[in-house]
Structure 1
Amino acid sequence: MSQAPETSRRPVVTPMRVVIAVCLLAPFVALMWVGSYAKTDPVLIGIPFFYWYQMLWVPVSALLTVTAYALWRRDQRARAAAKGGAQR
């Protein structure tokens, strides 16, 4: 029985993947660290800091998620191109 040797596919850490991870982790860390925003001042349009800080993270999180997705797609295309170019 001859079988092709299995190659271990270890995850590759690239700078782009680090940026993707930071984009996805930043909102999580910023909102889980409640002590950094558990205060009322400064007030913005009559809204205490505690509330507007959290609401500010909604669009910021969306933009960071879209950025991470776009970078992930670019990384996948680059890996597919490199894999296809190496096989030729």
Structure 2
Amino acid sequence: MTDAPDRPNGGSSRGLWILIYCLLVPAVVVPLLVPLYDKAGPTLFGFPFYYWFQFALIIGAAILTLSAYVVSTKADARERAARLERRDRR
């Protein structure tokens, strides 16, 4: 007999939480890498690279954060189902 608990709904949510962290890390780390975008060229509609790249980072971070939120709702639902199943077994 194993000590591992049964995993409802296809497994634990640990993998989903790892995915959430992987989605959020670039949104935090890339803006901190200033040498990556500390230059004037190429320009886009007359804006130097430094400015339009920061706007692109905002949009990218918003998309990554939204994706992490959607995944977190699925992870939370899995955890709730597991808690309910454990409670019902008692």
- Normalising TM by the smaller chain, what interval? 0.7 to 0.9
User: Hey, what does 2:49 align to over in structure 1?
Assistant: 49
1:41-77 deviation per Cα after TM superposition (whole angstroms, max 9, x unaligned): 2111111111111011112111111111111111010
Extract structure 1 runs of 4+ deviating beyond 4 A.
none
How many residues in Structure 1 have an aligned counterpart in Structure 2?
A: 77
What amino acid is aligned across from residue 33 of structure 2 in structure 1?
W
User: Hey, what does 2:63 align to over in structure 1?
Assistant: 63
TM-score scaled by length of structure 2 = 0.75
Which structure's relative contact order is higher, taking Cα pairs within 8 Å and 6+ residues apart? 2
What amino acid is aligned across from residue 40 of structure 2 in structure 1?
T
TM-score scaled by length of structure 1 = 0.76
| 1:85 is the counterpart of 2:82 | no
1:5-57 deviation per Cα after TM superposition (whole angstroms, max 9, x unaligned): xxxxxxx9822111111222212111000011111121111111111110111
% identity of equivalent residues: 27
**Farther off after superposition, 20-29 or 71-80:** 20-29
State the superposition RMSD in angstroms: 1.8
